[in-house]
Amino acid sequence: MLPDQGRELLSIGRAAIDRALNIAYRSESDERTPWLEELSACFVTLMQEGKLRGCIGSLEAQRSLLMDVKRNAVSAALHDPCFAPLLTAEFDDAHIENSLLS
């Protein structure tokens, strides 16, 4: 994966969480490139103050990388059973990491 692609995935994940938290969200690029439409599996991890704050992922590729990142980002923020849902006030301090499975 190229650095620009990694940054784009982070932007996509952040925008998906913004929308889920009803924050005036960052705009997501309208440009859809073929690599985002490929079937893929990923994990999205949220860290806050150097500590795990949420992590959800897919073990098998069942949807496009674009949809997997969006769904897993929102799930990591709001539906990880190990953590309370992320609060709007906490989101700016959250660090997102994407791990793509091969």
Has residue 21 been placed in a domain? Answer: yes
Tens-place pLDDT, residues 15-52: 999 999 988 766 565 566 899 999 999 999 999 999 99
Has residue 33 been placed in a domain? Answer: no
Instruction: Report d(CA 9, CA 15) in Å as an integer.
Output: 10
Q: Which residue range is the domain that position 15 belongs to?
A: 3-28+38-101
Has residue 43 been placed in a domain? Answer: yes
pLDDT of 47 reads 97
Q: What is the DSSP letter of 28?
A: P
pTM of the model: 0.91
Has residue 69 been placed in a domain? Answer: yes
Give the mean model confidence (pLDDT) for residues 82-87: 96
Instruction: State both tokens at 91.
Output: 């989101």
Has residue 97 been placed in a domain? Answer: yes
Q: What is the CATH number of the domain that holds 80?
A: 3.30.700.20
Give the mean model confidence (pLDDT) for residues 90-100: 93
Number of folded domains that form the chain: 1
Helices (H), 21-84: 34-37, 65-78
